[in-house]
Structure 1
Amino acid sequence: MADLFDSGNSVSPSDAAVARPGPLADRLRPATLQDVIGQRHLLGTDGALTVMLHGQMPSLILWGPPGVGKTTIARLLAAQADLHFVQISAIFTGVADLRKVFEIARNRRVNGTGTLLFVDEIHRFNKAQQDSFLPHMEDGTITLVGATTENPSFELNAAVMSRAQVLTLERLTLRDMELMMQRAEKELGIKLPLSGDAREALQEMADGDGRALLNLTEQVAAWGATDTIDRDTLSKRLQRRAAQYDKSGDAHYNLISALHKSVRGSDPDAALYWLGRMLRGGEDPRYLMRRITRMAVEDIGLADPQAQAFCLQAWETYERLGSPEGEQSLGNAVVYLALAPKSNASYTAFKAAMKQAGETGSEPPPKHILNAPTQMMKDQGYGTGYQYDHDQADGFSGQNYFPDDMKRPVYYVPVDRGFERELGRRVDWLVDQRAKRGKG
């Protein structure tokens, strides 16, 4: 174990920039933080990491998608802060391994050298394993730099989060990837024989992942082609890399949020795009239909009472046809909802009523609306004074149906859109009649 933690996966600061033969991604690993492509919000002149390096380096959680430089940045931070770099993976490291890491780091500290412990996939550690870092972070034995592709606020202990600063890394832009390809071509000593469209297609295939881009670049270079390769030829020769999508991870919640907000924002094109992204990523269409129906209930409401029924019919259509034919019914549903008039008036009213019901849960109904199946209940006034609405000329009695001691609230306020415009007129009439009959 000592060899694992002291030799194979650790380097001294002076070794950080030593070039090693190997895959293109390793050969192009930056030698300084200034050489890192992307993440200018962290590494620019006034970037958060740049500022941190002027003082005592804190423990960090680097949160971002794959292939954006988390490991590279951690390694270079160790070199810049003059700390011994040790790398472990939460997937392959157990409690006994962690104890060994901490023991070696403690001995190293006694000899005057600090340790930057880089933990890849830190969210994979359970609570007990995460807790084991705390005393060593507090006494300075280690400076922890954890890397995760998952939202730290969901996956990491509050105690770890309170002792580390979370930095968000962004997926690489097409401009970043063009710069990376130029560096790769310089390292390989060739210019890839790609048309402009094909070059852009290659970068799109990498989906913001620098490591994937370099692997694809190396693969194309190995073809030894002399004629220009166009987009179609490139697509045939390469298996298009699936976009990053984890049905139980952060991308899942980000994409369903994007779909929901596109529908709410009445943008059918954006709604179809995010729906396509999720279906392409392997999302369960039944989960999507549940969420789409929820959008009809929450964001369309009574502005278009048919929206909910339309979604249920689309759901039934999918169940009958299955994938992929039935997926068009999901597309129909999101277009319908995106173009429907919007109202969350009934949704807001329901939440307000639920909240007040919880606060006044012991208040009894007024006696005039209680049934009186026994004589004793009649003697206590149950049902006395109740007015049967159908006996009224206009079908409305105007009686009070709230608890006697409760001030009448207003939950439902219709919007002046779609069918709810008509409901608003009805509500106004009822309020007016209730006021008149109350005074009478």
Structure 2
Amino acid sequence: MKFQPLADRIRPTTLADVVGQPHILGQTGLLRRIVESGNIPNMIFYGPSGVGKTTVASIIAAQTERKLYRLNATTASIADIKKIFDELGTLMAPNGALIYLDEIQYFNKKQQQSLLEFIEDGRITLIASTTENPYFYVFHAILSRSTVFEFKQIEAADIQPAVRRAFSLADASLHVPEEVCAYIAAACGGDVRKAINAVELLVQTAGGDTVTMEDAQQAAQRSSVRYDRDGDQHYDILSGLQKSIRGSDPDAAVHYLARLLASGDLISACRRLMVIAAEDIGLAYPQALPIVKACVDMANQLGLPEARIPLADAAILLATSPKSNSGIAAIDAAMADIHAGKSGDVPAHLKDSHYAGAKKLGRGLTYQYPHSYPNHWVRQQYLPDAIKDAQYYTYGDNKLEQKAKAYWDSIKK
């Protein structure tokens, strides 16, 4: 008899049995209402692995009495879809076909374009799934003909009943303490399939009539870390880190830093902390820049796990520091003018005059040396004539910048 994984044996057959996703599968959820109507559009299921995308596609196929064809874009080709298309209307697919194309982001643009002629025929319904943001990786013409549904990471409390049910189905005679079920549900990182696979491993290797916490920890080790350096999770966690520091929340900052470091991503953590020091703290506390750079240098010399210590210091320092974005606001405003063509020739009195013939060209003739004047300042024009009145920098409202403003206001009166 062919072996069937426990995750397949326990797979739900109705939407009511699907774990999680209440925002789309609840009583008023749009996807649930679409499935119950029987009029299934082309759809894209977007979300992390193990959250029910394949399961829901199978339920849709069963409820609409359509033949389900499962393809994976890493190995499938347009020829495979053409073969399915040729079977339409035969005994193989009398009611049309539903193609579940997993990991559609691995189809190149030409392959995705070729999909259009098949899904526009009406006899094929496409449900594509992807763990990557479809708005970055799926061809626009496919997106415009599809409805996108986001499947979210499942909470541990929702996974725990599924873990208990999996143990009962696999071996009802085993004694499984509730804390073991809770641990597996929490350690799987929102991936139901991982949790069920851990259950299957524990049942197969059970050394007695009780599943111990030690065995559960071995079976589910580190699976709670859901992270992909090239995927959405990477950028979402970096965004969470920066916005937490910008919002002066040291606890959240340390949390997101820990998620980066737990995945071994030291480089991204170091780069983002240095960016934050300049972008979000900036001139409110300029000393933060060399301090964070020193922490980053120390972290790179130490390596993980010790690197977590100076980086935690840096994250907490930044989160609890005064904030100013006046520096990035100034350079972005100046760059916007440059890109818009608002520039001009460098004023003649500022041009380089350290060469023979410079005076004949009028270079530097009227330049006034600020150090020769009281307070090392003299009024003269520095910007090109075309934008001589432009103002890019606005003093931040923090203590340090306001002190500098007060100083220069008194000098420039």
| Alignment TM-score > 0.5, same fold | yes
Q: Which moved more, 1:74-83 or 1:357-366?
A: 357-366
Whether 1:329 aligns to 2:310 is yes
Partner SS, residue 376 of structure 2: coil
- 314-323 or 255-264, larger mean C-alpha shift: 314-323
SS of the aligned residue for 2:397 comes to: coil
State whether residues 108 and 114 of structure 1, in contact with CA within 8 Å, keep that contact through their aligned partners in structure 2: no
1:161-180 CA distance string (max 9 Å, x none): 11111100011112211221
- List gaps (5 residues or longer) in structure 1: 1-19
- Distance of 1:358 and 1:120 partners within structure 2: 42
**Selected match of 1:156 from 125, 135, 138:** 138
Q: Which residue of 2 aligns with 1:94?
A: 77
- Could you tell me which runs of 5 or more consecutive residues in structure 2 were left unpaired when the two chains were aligned: none
In structure 1, C-alpha distance between the alignment counterparts of 2:92 and 2:100, rounded to whole Å: 20
Residue 75 of structure 1: how far off its partner (Å): 1.1
Deviations 1:272-301 (CA, angstroms, capped at 9, x unpaired): 221111121121x23321221111111111
Task: Identify if the C-alpha distance between structure 1 residues 215 and 362 changes in structure 2 by more than 3 Å, giving closer, same or farther.
Answer: closer
Which shifted more, 63-72 or 77-86?
77-86
Query: Alignment partner for residue 11 of structure 2, among 26, 29, 51?
Result: 29
Match of 1:103, as an amino acid?
A: D
Q: 1:292 aligns with which of 269, 273, 283?
A: 273
RMSD of equivalent CA atoms: 2.7
Deviation sequence 1:215-234 (CA, Å, 0-9, x none): 222333442644574x4564
Check the 8 A contact 2:337/2:343 in 1, yes or no.
no
Q: Residue type of the partner of 1:315?
A: V
Matched-pair contact (CA < 8 Å) for 2:132–2:231: yes
Q: What displacement does 1:380 show?
A: 6.4
8 Å Cα contact 2:198-2:219 kept in structure 1: no
Q: How is 1:165-176 mapped onto 2 (pairs within 5 angstroms)?
A: 165-176=147-158
Distance 1:287 1:21 in 2: 42
Partner SS for 1:257: helix
Which secondary structure does the structure 2 equivalent of 1:133 belong to?
helix
Aligned residue in 1 for 2:163: 181
For 1:117, what is the secondary structure of its paired residue? strand
Shift of 1:414: 2.0
Deviation of 1:160 after TM superposition, in Å, equals 1.2
| Aligned AA (2:251) | D
**Larger mean Cα displacement after TM superposition, 52-61 or 144-153:** 52-61
Separation of aligned partners in 1, 2:178 and 2:169:
21
Change (3 A) 1:22 1:405: closer
Deviation at 1:328? Answer: 2.1
TM (norm. structure 2) is: 0.90
Q: Tell me how far apart the structure 2 counterparts of residues 127 and 62 of structure 1 sit (CA, whole Å).
A: 19
Change (3 A) 1:375 1:275: closer
Q: In 2, distance between residues paired with 1:194 and 1:166?
A: 39
Asked whether 1:84 is paired with 2:67, we answer yes
2:281–2:323 Cα contact (<8 Å) kept = yes
1:280 aligns with 2:262: yes
In 2, the alpha carbon distance for the partners of 1:394 and 1:239 equals 65
Q: How many pairs does the alignment contain?
A: 410
TM-score by length of 1: 0.85
Match of 1:394, SS state, is helix
User: CA 1:193–1:110 in structure 2 vs 1: closer, same or farther (change >3 Å)?
Assistant: closer
Partner SS, residue 175 of structure 1: helix
1:212 aligned to 177, 181, 194, which one?
194
Q: CA deviation at 1:342?
A: 1.0
SS in 2 for 1:346: helix
